[in-house]
A = this chain, B = another copy of it.
Amino acid sequence: MPYQPPVREFAFLLREVLGLERYANLPAFADASIDTVEQVLEEAGRFAAEVLSPLNRVGDREGCRWSADFSVATPTGFKAAYDAYVEAGWPGLGAEAEFGGQALPGVVGVAVKEMECAANMAFAMYPGLSRGAYAAISHGGSDEQKQLYLPKLASGEWAGTMNLTEPHCGTDLGLLRTKAVPQADGSYRISGQKIWISAGEHDLTDNIVHLVLARIEGAPAGTKGISLFIVPKFLPDATGAPGARNSVKCLGLEEKMGIHGNATCVIAHEEAIGWLVGEENRGLPLMFVMMNEARIGVAVQGVALADAAYQAAIEFARERLQGRSLSGPKNPDGPADPIIVHPDVRRMLMDAKAILEAGRAFLLWTALHGDLGEASPDAAVAERGRDYMALMTPVLKAFLTDRGFLIASDAMQVHGGSGFTEHFPVSQFLRDSRIAMIYEGTNGVQALDLVGRKLAADGGRALKGFFDEVDAYVAAGPGGESQKPFVEGLAKAKADLQEATLWLMRNAMSDPEVAGAASTDYLHLMGLTGLAYMWAQMASAAQGKIDAGETDPFYGAKLTTGRYFLARVLPETAMRLAKVKAGAQPVMALPAELF
């Protein structure tokens, strides 16, 4: 069975849960009527299923090939698919109209990206990286840089990358060594080696625009001396066309556990010509523009791979005949029942469904707030939008990728021995999904970002806003008696999260390691609370439809899945709270040499 794009799910969320049409009056949403958006998603789903999905296994098996002339060939079919992708205008979905984009809200981009990643994550990373480069130049570039690069990135003619990591310097960017020497003409010469550069070299586009972190000669040590540069593979000539080859080259590819179809490059800058983006020594904020874009993109990958793996597991569980239902044969004329009758198989499928459907909602909810943060004329709405986007970015990135990997693993488990063989697609989903927990800041780094920066930002305004919103929802008790379990479940999760927050506030001051020791469990607690809030809203929307006489079983399934979430996923919040409150001492007590 090919990939089934979850367009129906998106439509439910955008139309019936998030109420996208409420924002139709905003200029930024002018071209995003719900009907238009649904058409876009239908098209994107078709492209993902028909063009990208069939190449997923090809990409995994062939991988990318590096040649001694420093070129990299993508897997068979990727170039043609990319051309079709450009032809259809997908690269510019969220780009500004003045640079040739369609300027659709970010929430639409998230939905489209999910389908691309579910169908072919390694492929989707190529345009995904370009979007980060676009964002950095759009935020920090000069008008000239914008005019030169943004139309090419929006059209997909050129691709982008992020050149951050160096062999000795990953999370700790203060250790960065790549240097930039100013030239008389205002350009810089960039020298240094970068590693793990996704989509760092390939044959999909006429040019590749590297966004490179480097240290200008004489800059301060640490992260305060880092600047951001544009280093194009081919130097644009006077007409803006790719001209002379720049001395930036791919020295080789990493051999990896997954995402074989995406080129993970060692990139050498050997006095490469580059141009400063924004101000000297102010590269880090711009890097975070790219990084936050990328982190939401990785969160999307978590949901996407979970859905791909879940779909594969469902198909297998419906077809594989083995054993009989404990409540009597369900396929009496066959030699055995399909394994979907077995409670422990269903447990895994329901876990996946309950988490991924709410995870998808949580992503769209946050992305919509991000859009409002940029577009709402109501200052309070805009502020809350930006607050939520900042607060939830690390939560979504880490929580959804941790869960995505576990869902992919459960999907493999549903397959039994078949799942471990490469005859079935689930091994690739599991292997591909694993990187999402690591790149663009490991999930541990996300957790530190959450507890170390995001909670305290602006006096804790973002989290307080979230608590207030949830409290108001609970107090309103929407949906009456039938929704009570959802409202109570949400209230319980929020209470656990609030208790964990208060505990952190009381204890983290006296011991700086308390927050670090609690960070991952705190993040998961917030993720679960977010899902509980989404389930409450989805259940309310579904119940509303049913009460109004809607007979589509889709709505009943939503309620059933939501009730599973309450009964069998949400008990985890208490455990997370207990682990948070265990404090730093147990974690830090063992001397390093005694491990």
Contacts and interface: CB of A to CB of B under 8 A. Distances in A.
Interface stretch (A47-55, A138-146, A438-446): A438-446
Contacts of A323: 171-172
A172 B417 contact: no
A587 B347 contact: yes
B571 A578 contact: yes
Contact of A557 (B264, B442, B571, B594): B594
A506 to B, nearest CB: 17
A586 B350 contact: yes
Nearest to A350: B587
A446 to B, nearest CB: 10
Given A170-B322, A172-B322, A568-B582, 14 more contacts: A171-B323, A172-B321, A175-B336, A257-B421, A327-B512, A340-B592, A346-B587, A409-B434, A412-B434, A417-B438, A560-B589, A571-B574, A574-B574, A574-B575
A486 interface: no
Nearest to A578: B571
B340 A595 contact: yes
B592 A338 contact: yes
B513 A343 contact: yes
16 contacts: A172-B322, A172-B336, A255-B422, A257-B421, A257-B422, A326-B515, A342-B444, A343-B513, A343-B517, A346-B587, A353-B590, A416-B438, A417-B438, A557-B594, A564-B589, A571-B574
Contacts of A586: 350, 563-564, 567-568
A289 to B, nearest CB: 21
B344 A165 contact: no
Contact of A175 (B169, B175, B335): B335
Contact of A592 (B341, B343, B422): B341
A464 interface: no
Interface string A554-595: 101100110110011001101100110011101111111011
Main secondary structure of the interface of A (DSSP, over half): helix
A431 interface: yes
A405 interface: yes
B413 A438 contact: yes
The 5 tightest CB contacts between A and B, nearest first, are: A343-B516, A571-B578, A344-B444, A326-B512, A343-B517
Contacts of A409: 405, 434
Contacts of A572: 575
Contacts of A404: none
Contact of A590 (B171, B421, B557, B592): B557
A448 interface: yes
Interface string A410-424: 001100110111110
Contact of A430 (B170, B172, B257, B448): B257
A83 B280 CA distance: 65
A590 B255 contact: no
Nearest to A325: B513
A427 interface: yes
A583 B566 CA distance: 12
A399 interface: no
Given A342-B516, A571-B578, A592 B318 contact: yes
A427 B560 contact: no
Contact of A321 (B168, B427, B513): B168
A317, A434, A447: residue with the most chain B Cβ atoms closer than 10 Å: A434
B422 A439 contact: no
A591 B318 CA distance: 12
Contacts of A340: 592, 595
Nearest to A345: B444
A217 interface: no
A563 to B, nearest CB: 6
A550 interface: no
Contacts of A434: 409, 412, 420, 430
A591 B575 CA distance: 31
Given A409-B434, A434-B420, A326 B516 contact: yes
Which among A196, A346, A511, A519 has the greatest number of chain B C-beta atoms within 10 A? A346
Contacts of A594: 553-554, 556-557, 560
Interface in A419-462: 419-423, 427, 430-431, 434-435, 437-439, 442-444, 447-448
A520 interface: yes
Contact of A571 (B264, B419, B513, B579): B579
Contact of A327 (B412, B513, B556): B513
A112 B336 CA distance: 41
Contacts of A338: 592
A344 B567 contact: no
A196 B554 CA distance: 39
Contacts of A336: 172, 175
A256 interface: yes
